Structure 1
Amino acid sequence: MSTSLPFLPLAPQCGRCKKKENLMRCARCKVMLYCSQEHQKYDYSDHKHACSAVDKKQRLLDHEEEKLRAEPGDGLFMPANPFENSVGLFWGVWGTRDYMRARFGLVDALGDVNTYDAVRKQLVHARDMLRLCRSDNLGIRDLVPSLLLRLNRDQECYDFIKWWCTTGQDSHYDWANMDLGYLDIQNANAFEPIAGLVHGFKDLGMMNALALLKIKLLLDLVALKNSTDVPTLRVIPRGVFDAIRSHLPRSPIITQDNAMLERDDHSTEIRNLEEQVCQLYSHIHKQNPYCWRLLLYPGAFLEKDERPGMYSRGSFEEAQIVLGYSHDAWIETPGARAVIKAQYEGR
């Protein structure tokens, strides 16, 4: 396996020239940045539609939140101030549904801006929606792992996936009991076998994100291995050598593990990850036979106007929705789709 192209993480930058210093914020959408008014003016024709959509959805959300906070309650079906009295149970309270739909609409609109600030804001809204509605009737959980990967928060991504694939799949878990742990897994071993996560049916969105995370880790370790095999690097002082190698990995799961960075032999982890990626590829293909083909050859099917409003398990429409959420994360991980392509062409 070859190493991938240099990683270019999502970062705050001018929407026109990609400059990263002395940035000003679009006053309307508040998630697009520019280095100057001139560049903001030049970019207006490209940005105006997404900017207007975010502004419109934010105004609608503000309106729905104001109504909900002013709700006096009826003592039976609708509690007063559900933001205090119904946390975790939204959607089960009918009067909260317009608010939740409006907030989901804002998250969706922010995705069209597609900047670091927009992705970060999507994540803030998505996580708070899960706090308000633990059972996640709107399926916002399928978006969260890809957002975390795009922000290079890989450990949080793995912990999130593991919770939903374990506790979140427990038929005895009481979603209405606020005393139970919720999304409380921390620092789980992202290199561990996947058997406990793929047993039975799992959300396609979770499995898709798990495959990307495992591939990212695999590519990082291959890059470290290849650096060790370069004779010219081996003659430089060990401290300099380790400093160079520390910049090769992309995932903070590896960059923050000094023992792993300093070790020369990662062959065991590489073999294990290769096996896990193969297993995930096969599992996802069985779960949805359209997923990998759509990732490799998306055409216009991942554009928002082409995405369906509903889907059935294993359908082309399910693959459209899941990859619509995760496609940018795959693109922003150079080499990841090549791993899938090798699997796809080898079947």
Structure 2
Amino acid sequence: MNDTSPPGWHPARVGITGVGASLPERELTTADLQERIAAASDVALPPGLFRMMTGIDHRRIAADDEYASTFAVRAARQALAAAGRDVDEVDLLLFASASRDLVEPATAHIVQAELGGHAHAMDVTNACNSFLNGIDLARSMILAGRAHRALVVTGETPTRVMRPRLDSLAQARTAFAGYTFGDGGAAVLVEPVRRGGIVDVDTETRSAHWSVGGIFGGGSRHPRGDEHTYFHGDGHTLRGVFEQIGTDILDRVRRRTGWDWVDYDRVLVHQVSVPYLERFIEVTGVPKEKLEVTVGELGNLASATLGVQLARVDAELRRGDRVLAIGLGGGVSVMTMVWEKP
């Protein structure tokens, strides 16, 4: 890349200068999803159960020849174009996602092979908080002088870990959270800015709850076998943990920044289902009109959720407008990021 910054120079502010998002064209209604699962299962499912429990009408589904990297690449091209930058100007590429194309090598290399460029490329993985973690890592490396301009991308294909059939009611309970998923991707360009930028980041982690939900196959514990390749989780317990720790982190952000809900132009929050979102509104008191609601039409996009929401609202934001992003991820972690449009 062409870096004209003086030797030893470090930026005081780092922000997001370009945003992109990508969704599959194929759509699957929740009614059709339940019908497909029911036809393959030994368990009787009451009509309309999936729609009633999730509030999700439909979601986008990746085609057979579309992968996590596919959506990351498409979104990355949008983010670069929005910022008026070329891929050769990027010196750090982070693929930050819960999904990936392969166990090894890092999916970031597949993304970069498609985009071009020779940036330092690596993956960042932390369930549905992966994308926010990637942005924070990019910001930190820029502030430390280890990078000058970073492209952070995510591509999510969690519909491929939905359990295709149910053998029992007990299995249905642990598989149900997987039926909220939808596919998509997002990207942001992160670089030094003269005003605004990312002004606050916080995290809260309770790792004792790591086993409450996840995809347990593909690693050294369960390297092979279909049983561990499907999403398994206890949605009720996850929601309880998020409620317990979520309000504390929001209180800390409020104390540090001095900003309350009225001071944010938009609030972006990870959305698992409509009931989850309604409970979030009830517990936190966030004004519903400040939210960008995507879950009913796109489902749970995993780490791409916040990026897709940001891409949708970015055009309406003006210089100085503030956005609060709230991430919820298995593991379990909660993350916040305050961004002021430069």
- TM-score normalized by the length of structure 1: 0.28
User: Which one has a bigger Cα radius of gyration?
Assistant: 1
* TM-score for the superposition, normalised by structure 2: 0.28
Larger RCO (alpha carbons 8 Å, 6+ apart): 2
